[in-house]
Structure 1
Amino acid sequence: MYKGNFEAWGKISRAEGIRGVYTGGSPTFFGYSAQGAFKYGGYEFFKKYYADLAGEQNAYRYKTGLYLAASATAELIADVALCPFEAVKVRMQTTIPPFANGTLAGLNTIIGKEGVAGLYKGLYPLWGRQIPYTMMKFASFETIVEAIYHRLPGTKNDYGKGAQTAVSFTGGYLAGILCAIVSHPADVMVSKLNANRQPGEAFGGALSRIYKDIGFGGLWNGLPVRIVMIGTLTGLQWMIYDYFKIFMGLPTTGGAAPPPNKAVSTGP
């Protein structure tokens, strides 16, 4: 329909007004609010849980694996909260006129036609998109922030709250670029499945049919704008999250120090 993102925004706004550009904004707000609560809260919980299981020395030695495991587990749960709202959002954005005027109307319409299962028919591809995305998001963020503090003079604690949140935004933006690249093909497929999956069609059959229609190149449509969107969004997420942690009297995320050396007993 469009040759580029700016052309798309221009045509949509001329045809539908500025509200047209924000079609699906309501389910996006509710869906990603629910997902964010489970994702960030779950990540903190599972990071500590897995670290306690591994022990202090092993948790530091295998910290990247710990970040990956904690983020994957948190996202697995968070996507169950996100999926119904994502189904409404995608359908609102891919039907003309939008099939529903708001989140509640969209949920009721889908349930009325397809039952509760209709809200979750995109769950598997959502996991396929979001779990690798979140693993990259958290692990790369932690690694990038640690590398930034490693290159700066002094230690993380030598810097004020404003400087630490600036590091969080920078690390989040760079991590967001990697996230967008890793998850974009699955994001395209999620949108296609929610919009075009036929009633009763098997998941594998739908994937094959859609891929045959769009090809490998079609999986990367819209990547540049998604890099800008996800980079900015992820940077702001980490900055806001760390501001909240500071407000609560907690340390900012990332830049972990090595565990203290423990004295080794040599006998009585």
Structure 2
Amino acid sequence: MELSLAHPALKAFMCGSLSGTCSTLLFQPLDLVKTRLQTLHSNMQPGSARVGMVTVFLSVVRTEKLIGLWKGVSPSFVRTIPGVGIYFSTYYSLKQHYFLEQGPGAMESVLLGAGARTVAGVCMLPVTVIKTRFESGRYNYVSVAGALRSVCQIEGPRALFSGLTATLLRDAPFSGLYVMFYSQGKNTLPQEISTSPYAPLANFSCGILAGVLASLVTQPADVVKTHVQVSPHLYKRTADAVRYIYNEHGFPGFFRGGVPRSLRRTMIAAMAWTVYEQMMARMGLKS
């Protein structure tokens, strides 16, 4: 009996990992540009979000070549392949356990998404810290394993969990809001579209809208998380980073890097959910 319950969860893990891998490879440059924008020094004002994004993009290509846009893709893979798998398998298990007969409502969707993201976020936080540092361009790490060893030896294992509060404040609400907007959007689709060959495209469109709304709400937490993980020696508490960002950049500073992050998170989430649901359907499982 235990094996039969675990088997669908394992399938959900595999589907989630594959969907996350494809989307991470495609959109890693947007994540790198977002991180660089958020960690600009106070005397390097990028102007508007759009000009700042283009400026940073061209600067990376000019100084680090085109391949530089994929800096940090190794830790992204190390984080995404198991991380997205953990997220979807947890989400699937919770949904099957609590909402097997009746689908979740709006608030239940928020709790499902937030709960699954919290589990995945805590499990993968050490790799998230390394990934953020890779992308910042301030550390000369050669490999993920070498970076993990370096942090443990120089800063102590605790540094691998820096920004935990900000990460959960960003990821749990994002995922909860995303699942709510996405599921509610799908429920409003006419039955003839949901059962037509265009269903994946319609689902992807719902994912785009859900991603934009969830990204805007959680952008300030993402900026704080980046600062804490890149410079943990400067911020003893999350509140210290919040105070610094506000004093140096004002309220708009909490939305720095919002354009590339919204693009990346929206496209990744929409693609991941579309691929996940299609693969689960092919396996005969209800996602």
Shorter-chain TM range is 0.7 to 0.9
Q: Deviations over 1:42-100 (max 9, x none)?
A: 11111232326xxx5xx55x61122112112111111012211110111122244x330
Count of paired positions: 239
Kindly provide the amino acid, as one letter, of the partner of residue 89 in structure 1: K
**Selected match of 1:45 from 65, 68, 93:** 93
Aligned to 1:87: 129
Q: Is the 8 A contact 2:227 2:241 kept in 1?
A: no
User: Structure 1 residues 231 and 204 mapped into 2: Cα distance closer, same or farther (>3 Å)?
Assistant: closer
**Selected match of 1:112 from 146, 149, 153:** 153
The offset of 1:155, in angstroms, is 7.4
Kindly provide the amino acid, as one letter, of the partner of residue 5 in structure 1: M
Task: Give the TM-score taking structure 2 as reference length.
Answer: 0.76
Moved more, 40-49 or 199-208: 199-208
Distance 1:234 1:124 in 2: 22
2:277 is aligned with 1:242 = yes
2:54 is aligned with 1:20 = no
Unaligned runs of 5+ in 2: 1-43
Between Structure 1 and Structure 2, whose CA radius of gyration is higher?
A: 1
The offset of 1:244, in angstroms, is 1.2
Aligned to 2:114: 72
Higher relative contact order (CA 8 A, sep 6+): 2
Q: Is the 8 A contact 1:50 1:70 kept in 2?
A: no
Kindly provide the amino acid, as one letter, of the partner of residue 79 in structure 1: G
Aligned to 1:29: 77
Q: Is the 8 A contact 1:168 1:242 kept in 2?
A: no
Distance 1:194 1:154 in 2: 47
Distance 1:198 1:77 in 2: 26
**Selected match of 1:215 from 237, 245, 250:** 250
Unaligned runs of 5+ in 1: 254-268
2:230 is aligned with 1:181 = no
The offset of 1:237, in angstroms, is 0.8
User: Structure 1 residues 120 and 190 mapped into 2: Cα distance closer, same or farther (>3 Å)?
Assistant: same
User: Structure 1 residues 180 and 206 mapped into 2: Cα distance closer, same or farther (>3 Å)?
Assistant: closer
Q: Deviations over 1:134-185 (max 9, x none)?
A: 001111110001112xxx25474xx24x422222211111111112111111
Distance 1:122 1:138 in 2: 24
